[in-house]
Structure 1
Amino acid sequence: MESEKTVYSYFSDTMLLKHLKKGDRLAFTEIFERYWKKVYNESYKRIQNPTLAESITEIVFVGLWEEKENKKKQKLLPYLLTSLRSHVLQLYREGKAVPRVERKSNYSMLTCIHTGIN
């Protein structure tokens, strides 16, 4: 079942930010609905812990509301992802999460074997 669209669902991010800065809760709700999954997924990618990822996502959006009058916010998603990265780095510093290191593919090794280069 799809949720009912509101007039805010047709607003650009710029319009939502404008309304958010005035304390418009419906604009905040639309921002949350639009971006919570992206923020959560980015958080989960970095820490691989669903509980911590959910907590960080909540903290990011609470911070957005608390800093709603901040004139520096120009674009929503970059602001949210910067906030997310800041919180993830804080968890790393505190030892509450371990950075996830991605394994590199063996493409370069396979290329060397195929071409005979060592």
Structure 2
Amino acid sequence: MPKQVTAQERSDEELLIAMKSGDRSAFVAIYERYWRKLHAESFKRLKNMQQIEELVQDIFSDLWLKRDSKEILNLRNYLMMCTRYQVFAIYRKEKSNPDFEEPMENMAFYSVNADSRLNEKDMKSCIDIWLKQQPTKRGEIFRLKYREDMSTKEIGEVLNISQKTVQNQLVTSYNSLREFMKKMTTILSSAAW
């Protein structure tokens, strides 16, 4: 008789499918797998335990309540993006400037929703094309930040440059990538019609 796979042993994709069909144990497994990560991600930026706990609770409540309408391709990325967006929303609501060591962190990097003409694969391809067009150092900083999930301080230490230089390069990258993605979205959208 084959061994039963527990919810904790299932992949994110399997858990998402089960959760969409109303399986509470799958939702609990997702919560157990990710709540600490979201808490840590929020803490890096907020430092207010009450806000952090509410933020994490809101993200998971939304995930469960809207499970039927969400089209999630990558659960970890989706939850991290939600966390960063919620942190940004808190700062916007309080009309204060984020007290981050990393100014890029208060910006949603990009938004993917069910209506988007670009799927995750297209976006990754577009980002890869954009990266090839960047100066070597800027591309390396971007890769370390967004693919290796390093802080600006860590990147500065690895590349032997100041944290301020890293931050400036990330702001330049963000603006350049945003413009590039707008153009690519337009091109891909018109090609789809």
Same fold (TM over 0.5): yes
Deviations 1:31-71 (A, max 9, x none): 00000000000011111111111110101100110121135
Amino acid across the alignment from 1:93: R
- 1:73 is matched with which residue? 72
| Structure 1: gaps (5+ residues) | 1-5, 110-118
- Write the letter of the residue equivalent to 1:90: A
* Equivalent position of 1:115 in the other structure: none
Which AA in structure 2 matches 1:30? A
Q: Taking structure 2 as the reference length, what is the TM-score of the superposition?
A: 0.49
Point out 4+ residue stretches in structure 1 off by more than 3 angstroms.
Answer: 103-109
**Deviation per residue, 1:52-102 (Å, 9 max, x gap):** 111101011001101211352111111111111121111111117651231
Query: CA, structure 1 residues 100+65, in 2 after alignment: closer, same or farther (shift >3 Å)?
Result: same
**Could you tell me the TM-score, scaled by structure 1's length?**
0.77
- Structure of larger gyration radius: 1
Percentage of identical aligned residues:
36
Say if 1:21 and 1:68, in contact at 8 Å, map to a contact too. yes
Q: Is the 8 A contact 1:47 1:98 kept in 2?
A: no
Summarize the Cα distance change of 1:9–1:97 in structure 2 as closer, same or farther, 3 Å threshold: farther
Instruction: Give the RMSD, CA atoms, in angstroms.
Output: 2.3
Structure 2: 5+ residue stretches without partners:
103-152, 163-193
Partners of 1:86 and 1:17 in 2: CA distance: 21
Map residues 74-93 of structure 1 onto 2, 5 A cutoff: 74-93=73-92
Change (3 A) 1:40 1:61: same
Q: Which moved more, 1:15-24 or 1:90-99?
A: 90-99
Summarize deviations over 1:10-34 as a string: whole Å, max 9, x none.
1000100000111110000000000
Distance 2:51 2:95 in 1: 9
